[in-house]
Amino acid sequence: MNLRQKQIRRSLPILTVGAFLAGGLVLAQTSPAQPSTKSVPARPATSGRVTSGADKLTSAEGTLFTKARPSTLRILQCPVNNCVEPDGIGTAFLIGDDGLALTAYHVIFQAKALSAQTADRKRYAVEVVGYDDQNDIALLRVNVPKGTPYLPVVAASPKVGDPVLAIGNGGGSFLTPKTGRLTALDTPSDRADFPSGTLELTAPLIPGDSGGPILNAKGEVTGVVSYISVKPSNVDDLSADPEITAYAVPVTAGAQRLADLKKGVKREAPVIGVSIGGNLALLTALPERLFAEANERLSLGLGSVAGAFFTDVSANTPAARAGLRPLQYNAEGKVTQGDLVTAIDGKRVVNFSDFQRIVRSNYQPGDTVTLKVLRAGKTIEVKMTLIGRSTVAQR
């Protein structure tokens, strides 16, 4: 697993210049134990002091890091007693003397086995207590010894401009620090499968830092690292270091989200089971006003009414069971058939991202929705019953 990253995308040359250009997002997910490529040094997207590595910390930052590090963990996707080649590496941190620890949900998603490594490199068993898939946060119980240090969770929300310290395992490192500043609060995500309402910060996080703590100057936890945004720093020189902006799920001591996790709530995100690939992936968030132009220039054969189209329907998913049809092409590359979803329970759908977002924001696994679908020039209604993401993954 690795930091959920928005991939840097380029617009299709045959379309209006810049009309369909999309930015890149990446889950600050877990990274491979031995990354196959060298991490590219990150340049922050906004101004402000940014550091990576203990040797670059100020005296105050160094003191904070030294105090906080024993409360942080390296999360490994492997059994405690057999961890030569873990499937993935992420970060977590203790928040209580009972072994409770927070991490990002994508760090542990689909893990067959989990173990945690403390600063002294000893490994301990891990149990998943609760999670919230849509908000990318999970609560673990780690079998650490009594007296193991833990981090306090802040009581109130932070402020823009606050300095922050992150601790993580990015790029194969072991519980190393990175600093930056908060640049925005309650940040929306432009992808349905990434959490909204996040803290935006300048710390140069990379894959493996996911699930780590974001600490304020007092050493209190304000957020859990979730994903990063990667964009070119110079559009005329794509070899230049990219600009990286990081995002963290906010946490406060009295928040209902944290209370639910402690109660063992395991909240799944509903899935549809459709995807869009190839060059058409650039059009996942196609604005309604540009749909007709894209349809004509790409010969999609979908008409002039905007909606969600897709190129694949996964087996044994809600979309497959509902009979939704992906775009299909003939030998000349022309679209011969494919559904266009234009509404869900009366809510207007104008593109693929809309389709995903409306489902994930308004429904739960087990809910049945009614889709308005344009098929072969005719409008039909299709019933679709949603299931959880982990249910699909287990099949």
Predicted local confidence at residue 33, as pLDDT:
29
- DSSP code of 285? T
pLDDT band of residue 40 (cuts 50, 70, 90) is very low
Q: Which amino acid would we find at residue 157?
A: S
Instruction: Reply yes or no on whether the pLDDT at 147 is more than 70.
Output: yes
Predicted local confidence at residue 330, as pLDDT:
81
Tokens of 89: 């590496």
Of 130, 169, 165, 133, nearest to 151 by C-alpha is 165
Work out the average pLDDT over 178-185. 96
Predicted local confidence at residue 130, as pLDDT:
97
pLDDT band of residue 30 (cuts 50, 70, 90) is very low
Q: What distances in angstroms separate CA 166 from CA 176, 223, 228, one per listed residue?
A: 8, 10, 13
Work out the average pLDDT over 162-186. 95
Q: Which amino acid would we find at residue 304?
A: S
> Tell me: the pLDDT tens digits for 49-106?
556 667 789 999 999 999 999 999 999 999 999 888 888 889 999 999 999 999 999 9
pLDDT band of residue 34 (cuts 50, 70, 90) is very low
Predicted local confidence at residue 325, as pLDDT:
96
- Distance, in Å, from the CA atom of 386 to the CA atom of 206, rounded to the nearest integer, reads 33
Of 19-33, 76-90, 332-346, the one with minimum mean pLDDT is 19-33
Instruction: Reply yes or no on whether the pLDDT at 384 is more than 60.
Output: yes
What angle is formed at CA 294 by the lines to CA 291 and CA 295, rounded to 5 degrees?
Answer: 80
By the 8 A CB rule, do 213 and 224 touch? yes
Q: Which domains does the chain have, with CATH numbers?
A: 1-267 (2.40.10.120), 270-393 (2.30.42.10)
Instruction: Reply yes or no on whether the pLDDT at 386 is more than 80.
Output: yes
- Distance, in Å, from the CA atom of 90 to the CA atom of 76, rounded to the nearest integer, reads 7
Predicted local confidence at residue 214, as pLDDT:
98
Instruction: Reply yes or no on whether the pLDDT at 38 is more than 60.
Output: no
Instruction: Reply yes or no on whether the pLDDT at 352 is more than 80.
Output: yes
pLDDT band of residue 385 (cuts 50, 70, 90) is very high
pLDDT band of residue 41 (cuts 50, 70, 90) is very low
Share of the chain above pLDDT 70, in %: 84
By the 8 A CB rule, do 249 and 223 touch? yes
pLDDT band of residue 11 (cuts 50, 70, 90) is very low
Predicted local confidence at residue 50, as pLDDT:
57
- Distance, in Å, from the CA atom of 59 to the CA atom of 67, rounded to the nearest integer, reads 12
Instruction: Reply yes or no on whether the pLDDT at 226 is more than 60.
Output: yes
Predicted local confidence at residue 10, as pLDDT:
30
- Distance, in Å, from the CA atom of 211 to the CA atom of 209, rounded to the nearest integer, reads 6
Instruction: Reply yes or no on whether the pLDDT at 393 is more than 90.
Output: no
pLDDT band of residue 244 (cuts 50, 70, 90) is confident
Which range of 3-12, 183-192, 228-237, 339-348 scores highest in mean pLDDT? It is: 339-348
Strand locations in 251-339 (E): 266-267, 270-271, 274-275, 312-313, 328-329, 335-337
Of 18, 75, 45, nearest to 202 by C-alpha is 45
HEC profile of 258-272: HHHHHCCCEECCEEC
Instruction: Reply yes or no on whether the pLDDT at 132 is more than 70.
Output: yes
Q: What is the mean pLDDT of the chain?
A: 85
Instruction: Reply yes or no on whether the pLDDT at 278 is more than 80.
Output: yes
Instruction: Reply yes or no on whether the pLDDT at 273 is more than 70.
Output: yes
Q: Which amino acid would we find at residue 317?
A: T
At 390 the three-state DSSP class reads helix
Instruction: Reply yes or no on whether the pLDDT at 47 is more than 50.
Output: no
pLDDT band of residue 37 (cuts 50, 70, 90) is very low
Work out the average pLDDT over 203-232. 94
Burial of 359 per CB tally in 10 Å (0-12, 13-18, 19+): buried
Q: What distances in angstroms separate CA 151 from CA 102, 128, 142, 260, one per listed residue?
A: 10, 19, 14, 19
By the 8 A CB rule, do 182 and 198 touch? no
